[in-house]
Amino acid sequence: MSRIAILTDSTAYLSPDMLERHDIHVIPLKVHWGEETLLDGIDITPVEFYTRLATHSTLPSTSQPSMHDFLQVFNGLASQYEGILVPLISSGISGTVASAQAAVTEFKKVPVEVVDTHSTSAGLALVVLAAARAVEQGCSLPEVTQIARNVVQNLHLFFAVDTLKYLHKGGRIGGASRYLGSALSIKPILFFDGVGKIDALERVRTKRKALTRLVELAEEKVGSNPVHVGVIHANAPEEAAEFRSRLAKRLECDQLYTFELSPVIGTHVGPGTIGLALYVE
């Protein structure tokens, strides 16, 4: 029997290969489109999502797993594991952490530790992968939890969106609201603040300048230190590949991953979004 299970949510959007290789379990968030409810990454893929987004007149909404959803998964894992670590999307933009914590109060079969990563997407994925490595090295649940929290404390996530309309529509715009009404050519650079809310850092005039600025921000944060990096994109694989190449040349990367944004996150940031998450150990 493996000692520790890792359960994350679908916004980490780890590949099936990564999930299998590291024995990571996923609870999906939900996309609501009219009368239809779709499980994030299960009932709808990013390609299907952005195709549909371009052709539908109505925008989707999203919701977190319920306490009951978490209890079901906890019960299933308890028969195979001695403890469960649950790193999740930021409580600053989702109620997922609250649902998990409510489930923990009702669940007594094995110990469960919930970690609010104050991030999502590649940021969440980097926390999950660090925890998975610790589990593979035989660490205890308290030790794995502390390793995950250490990554959270050192984590940065920056991204540039093509438009603020999706964040505004979904109510996740936070401090970026001051850029609403800016000229269409303005590309806001956003980040997750210390409590896991989205805030605005600055704005530049073109997408190319935004990507250049993201590289500069990464260099400012890590200097010459070895760094773990995850590139993120929303239906922009070619831009992401070029961006990744630039980062590889400028940073000393211990790991360098590329992650698609899940449909739930795509709902709130829109197509064309590019960004990165990174931390130094």
Q: What is the CATH number of the domain that holds 52?
A: 3.40.50.10170
For 46, phi then psi, to 5°, come to -55, -45
- Looking at the predicted structure, is the pLDDT value of residue 169 above 70? no
125 with 166, same domain: the answer is no
CATH at 255 = 3.30.1180.10
Q: Give the C-alpha separation, 163 to 168, whole Å.
A: 10
171 with 136, same domain: the answer is no
25 with 67, same domain: the answer is yes
Q: Which of 98, 122, 153 is the last residue of a domain?
A: 153
8 with 143, same domain: the answer is yes
Q: Which of 114, 136, 153 is the last residue of a domain?
A: 153
Per the rule left: phi > 0, alpha: psi between -120 and 50, beta: everything else, 196 is left
Nearest to 165 by CA among 175, 180, 178: 180
56 with 122, same domain: the answer is yes
Q: Give the C-alpha separation, 81 to 111, whole Å.
A: 10
**Of the listed ranges 184-198, 228-242, 246-260, the one predicted with least confidence:** 184-198
Decide: 84 and 110 in contact? Cβ < 8 Å: yes
73 with 183, same domain: the answer is no
103 with 132, same domain: the answer is yes
Which residue range forms the structural domain that includes residue 265?
A: 156-279
16-32 per-position pLDDT tens digit: 999 999 999 999 999 99
26 with 110, same domain: the answer is yes
Q: How far is CA 87 from CA 7, 8, 116, in A?
A: 7, 5, 6
264-277 per-position pLDDT tens digit: 999 888 889 999 99
Please tell me the pTM assigned to this model. 0.93
How many domains does the chain fold into? 2
Q: Which of 153, 188, 220 is the last residue of a domain?
A: 153
Indicate the average pLDDT of the chain: 91
Nearest to 122 by CA among 14, 237, 44, 201: 14
Rg (CA), the chain: 18
The tokens describing 252, both together, are 């000393």
149 with 160, same domain: the answer is no
Q: What is the pLDDT of residue 119?
A: 97
- How large is the average pLDDT for residues 140-165? 92
Residue 63's SS3 state is strand
190 with 217, same domain: the answer is yes
C-alpha angle 262-23-122 in degrees, rounded to nearest 5: 30
123 with 8, same domain: the answer is yes
86 with 148, same domain: the answer is yes
Q: What is the pLDDT of residue 268?
A: 85
Q: What is the pLDDT of residue 174?
A: 52
107-116 per-position pLDDT tens digit: 999 999 999 9
